[in-house]
Amino acid sequence: MNMDITIALEVIGYLDTEFDTHDFIRKLLERHPEVYGRYLVNHGDHGGSVATADGEISSFLARHASDLHITKIGDVPSSNILGNISDNAKWHK
């Protein structure tokens, strides 16, 4: 599954100058719940679908960082939509 660059750029536009992948995902869920829902459905058979869906979104951001005008500046712990804390990428736009 692949996200539309236009949707990702829109979501990034609502975020602070520095944000982490979980910030992006929460804003994506707020603005385009159907997109996040497709990621969850796509990973529903793998157990831990939120973690695997979030990982795919993180990979998308990394692969398209140049097109999205973002730069990875490290990793930070933060909570996902379920409140589980994990390390994820921190970005600068």
The per-residue pLDDT for 51 is 86
Q: Can you tell me which residue has the tokens 């804390």?
A: 85
Give the mean pLDDT of 4-14. Answer: 97
pTM of the model: 0.91
Q: Where are the domains of the chain?
A: 5-92
Mutual angle of helices 5-13 and 21-31, in 10-degree steps: 100
- Judged against a pLDDT cut of 70, whether residue 46 lies above it is answered with no
User: What does the pLDDT average to over 84-90?
Assistant: 94
Q: Which of 9-13, 19-23, 82-86 has the lowest mean pLDDT?
A: 82-86
For residue range 14-33, what is the model confidence (pLDDT) as tens digits? 999 999 999 999 999 999 99
- What is the per-residue pLDDT across 47-75, written as a single tens digit (0 to 9) for each? 558 888 999 999 999 999 999 999 999 99
DSSP 14: T
